[in-house]
Amino acid sequence: MSEFYSSLVKRHSKCRRLVSMKRRARLDVRKRGSNLFRRKLTTLKKLIPNREAIGGLDGLFRETAEYIMCLQMRVKVMRIMVNVLTGSDE
């Protein structure tokens, strides 16, 4: 009878170890994902001018969208200037 109990105890401890390892692995994945997200946000903040005035995540995304539109407008203006200065009619 003691062999039966010892095998049960061994299986139980092995099962607990596996559950613990799986739980730890899930937490590690969450931490890595969170760190990756933070790094990407930090990189995005570095790209946007006047980033000190940005408040919160929604503000960052709004400022990013406005900055992209501003850059697109600059490209259009530069294309027009090139066309005017080179005399090409496109």
Verify that 20 and 56 share a domain, yes or no: no
- Domain residues for 42? 1-47
Query: Can you list the pairs that 33-37 forms with residues at least 24 positions away whose Cβ atoms lie under 8 Å?
Result: none
Q: What is the dihedral of CA 51, 56, 57, 62, to 10 degrees?
A: -60
Verify that 1 and 41 share a domain, yes or no: yes
The rounded average pLDDT for each run of 10 residues, N- to C-terminus, in the chain (90 residues) is 67 75 72 82 88 80 92 96 84
* pTM for the model: 0.56
Verify that 42 and 74 share a domain, yes or no: no
Q: Rounded CA gap, 43 and 64, in Å?
A: 12
pLDDT at 65: 92
Verify that 63 and 36 share a domain, yes or no: no
Asked if residue 53 lies in contact with residue 47, where contact means CB atoms within 8 angstroms, the answer is no
Verify that 57 and 80 share a domain, yes or no: yes
DSSP assignment of 30-64 = HHHHHHHHHHHHHHHHHHSTTGGG--HHHHHHHHH
Number of domains in the chain: 2
